Amino acid sequence: MSTLFLIQLLNGLQLGVLLFLLAAGLTLVFGIMDFVNLAHGSLYMLGAFVCASLTFLTGSFVWGVLLAIPIIAVIGYFFEVLIVRHLYESNHLDHVLATFGIILIADTLVQLSWGPEGIAIPLPGYLSGQVEIFPSIIFPTFRLVIISSGLLIAAGLYWLITYTRLGMLIRAGASNRTMVSALGVDISTLFAGVFALGAVLAGVAGMLIASITEATIGMGNDIIITAFVVIIVGGIGSMKGAFIAAILIGIIDTLGRSFLKDILELFIASGSAETAGPALSSMLIYIIMAVVLAVRPQGLFPPKVR
């Protein structure tokens, strides 16, 4: 039980880290540009597919990732310049609809280019094994790689936002973008850059997960909703909130799926726990979100100035 618990805890941490990579871009784009981007999941999917192709082309997963990152950045940049930029003046409803349209387009384009089947990304030998992290606890190496690279990226983002000039502009843009632009900052380049950064983060998440599951059409459409739950719970626009909420939701979701049935069996008849368990564990993160919003309508860590 305790071994299984630890392993599930690590799995939860891995999901949380991936969620953070997605949520970071979402919350940046929302915090600074006030833009709701449902199509963020499409960048996640594109990351996975582009990386898969490049991995097969170069024969190395590491090269696949390294080459896919600039490609996703460019895609994100043009996405912002061609479509998103024209929507900043509209309301959230228009954002939701237009990016919904982009999801349809992206899914179909991927189907046209890569076919309807999913693609698994092969891992090099040194990444596909398992390691014994504690005595009698064996965990796949690559999942550890995901966790550590995710935490590294989180630390890098923290440094970027807290200590660099770009980060200062991002924070300033999030609290008052009119003032930032009045101070002579080229706001449209800043926006495009931030958008591309968010795209890369989402793309990396897709590349990492596609080696465990596989790159499939519409893979972003489910997880993007979870990522939205993360940024809503964390407080939209807050990087700290996104990180804490992502880890929390990743762990709660994973643990819920593995243990909720057993916990329920302690209280109710085993038969009803059998049916209620899976239902409740799928609903768990939405229940958390509803409770958080009912108690704190602005999320757990709302940014100080809006």
List residues near another protein by CB under 8 A: 30, 36, 38, 83, 86-87, 90, 92-94, 96-98, 100-105, 107-109, 111-112, 221, 225, 228-229, 232, 236, 275-276, 278-279, 282-283, 286-287, 289-290, 293-294, 297-299
Cβ at position 188, least distance to another protein in Å: 18
- Of 193 and 235, CB closest to another protein: 235
Do 56 and 211 contact (CB within 8 A), yes or no?
no
Cβ at position 174, least distance to another protein in Å: 15
- Of 49 and 139, CB closest to another protein: 49
| Crossing angle (nearest 10°) for helices 219-234 and 92-114 | 150
131: Cα separation from own chain's centroid: 26
- Of 92 and 133, CB closest to another protein: 92
Task: Look up residue 116 and give its two tokens.
Answer: 């309807």
Cβ at position 281, least distance to another protein in Å: 9
Cβ at position 82, least distance to another protein in Å: 10
Provide CB contacts within 8 A for 192, sequence distance 6+: 77, 80, 81, 85
Cβ at position 154, least distance to another protein in Å: 23
Q: What is the dihedral of CA 98, 101, 106, 109, to 10 degrees?
A: -130
Cβ at position 169, least distance to another protein in Å: 23
- Of 99 and 211, CB closest to another protein: 99
- Of 173 and 277, CB closest to another protein: 277
Task: Look up residue 286 and give its two tokens.
Answer: 């939405």
Side-chain-facing half-sphere of 135: CA atoms under 13 Å:
0
Return the ∠ at Cα 98 (arms to 240 and 86), rounded to 5°. Answer: 85
> Whole-angstrom Cα distance, residue 89 to residue 100?
18
Task: Look up residue 38 and give its two tokens.
Answer: 């449902």
- Of 176 and 275, CB closest to another protein: 275
